[in-house]
A and B are shown apart, each in its own frame.
Chain A
């Protein structure tokens, strides 16, 4: 629109943050490790395992919620609420359906939409939708592949072209609408959408390759 040749993407604070350091421990990068911690919470009400999950993911949830526009104090309350849900609903976590990080993402997003955006029906609707897959489908098909391995997705996100990676991050970490992203990047909405479609195809391929 305004800029026919979009400049190379700026490095956002989020990208800087993740370049600074990655966890040294192999364990914390491994979704199976976190699934094991959650199993201990579910079966033994293991407080140590739970606080370990909190120590790792709590600050990440805080960054996510602040990035979405929640005030830091409100974000902290939402992190507490999200973690209490994790505690209460530990038995519902199914490692064959989602990684712990995906489950946490969903819980935090739902609480954000409920309380920050003030949509009173969202939480109930999400609960109903999640329960639908507890039942066998009409044709007896099993649902979804296993997402037990997040490593492939990790690399696939790192391998995205910078423009696509930026759009994905703006979408997920700032909850910006696609037309909003198009405006900010000075590109037609159709271009943003086709970039996001291409990015999804690559990430989906990485997800499905996982054992």
Chain B
């Protein structure tokens, strides 16, 4: 998977600084899990945080903080090497990107898709992010109505593809859209297009597919 569309650098900066909501962070993490370019860029945004950290004057810690820490060291042994990494994503085509497991489970096959319109299904994320994060599956060769976005939306293509004025979006690609974008996605023929989308409006759909679905999904 070699993505061609990446999150905007400001999105990575927000992720790096801890300012991104958990729904948006989940989509960014999913992309990071397959994109080395963005992992390298994230190291650069983290380096800004590190530099700022070292430039600041500290706040004094309470007396005894050093002794408390020292006392804990005796119970802990430094680990020389990392524990072996459980081999996961990338090999089994049924596996979702691992950052999405807590929200949707591991397996595409086990997803319980809900019909929300002709050719369109979705799965809401579990937990607190349910209103902000969802999987969408759109049948191949489907054209969605022209629309703009009420708020920001971050979408990652997981399977299939779509085209719009911004280009061709294939697995791994990110559409990082703000309220200004107007477009008309058309899913590619062949296989359904599955994507994970985060929105910043809890009870109101916004964004490329979601806005098109709004008539079908009354909340």
Query: A106 near B46 (CB under 8 angstroms)?
Result: yes
Q: How many residues of B contact A (CB 8 A)?
A: 62
Main SS class of interface, B: helix
CB pair A128 B19 closer than 8 Å:
no
Residues of chain B within 8 A (CB-CB) of A50 are 73
Cβ-defined contact, B14 with A60, below 8 A? no
Q: Does A18 interact with chain B (Cβ within 8 Å)?
A: yes
Q: With an 8 A cutoff between CB atoms, is B203 at the interface?
A: no
Q: Which of B50, B72, B77, B178 contacts A80 (CB 8 A)?
A: B72
List the A side residues contacting B54 at CB < 8 Å: 29, 57, 60, 99, 101, 150
**Would you give the shortest CB distance from A24 to chain B, in whole angstroms?**
13
User: How many residue pairs at the A-B interface have CB separations less than 8 Å?
Assistant: 229
Point out the residues of chain B lying under 8 angstroms from A121, CB to CB.
Answer: 26, 99, 102-103
**Chain A contact residue count (CB 8 A cutoff):** 91
A128 contact set on B, CB distance < 8 A: 33, 85, 88, 98-99
Contact bitstring A155-180, B, C-beta under 8 A = 1, else 0: 00100000000001101110111101
Q: How far is the CA of A21 from the CA of B58 in the complex (A)?
A: 11
Cβ–Cβ contact B80 & A172, under 8 A: no
Is there contact, CB below 8 Å, between A144 and B57? no
A48 to chain B, nearest CB (A): 11
Chain B residues near A204: list those with CB within 8 A.
44
- Mask, B49-88, CB within 8 Å of A = 1, is 1111111111111100110111011001111111001001
Q: Is A209 an interface residue (CB 8 A)?
A: no
Known: A59-B60, A91-B78, A125-B29. A132 touches B39 (CB 8 A): yes
Of the candidates B52, B103, B178, the one whose C-beta lies within 8 Å of that of A173 is: B52
Asked whether, in the complex, the Cβ of B81 is within 8 Å of the Cβ of A133, the reply is no
B65 & A58 in contact (Cβ 8 Å cutoff): yes
Contact of A45 with B10 at beta-carbon distance under 8 Å, contacts A121-B102, A203-B48 already known: no
Q: Among B8, B57, B68, which residue has the most Cβ atoms of chain A within 10 A?
A: B57
Q: Does B13 contact A (CB under 8 A)?
A: yes
A104 within 8 A of B: yes
Residues of the A chain whose Cβ atoms lie less than 8 Å from the Cβ of B51: 99, 101-102, 150, 153-154, 157
Sorted nearest first, the 10 A-B pairs with minimum C-beta distance are A59-B58, A102-B50, A101-B54, A101-B50, A105-B49, A121-B102, A63-B59, A17-B57, A105-B50, A91-B80
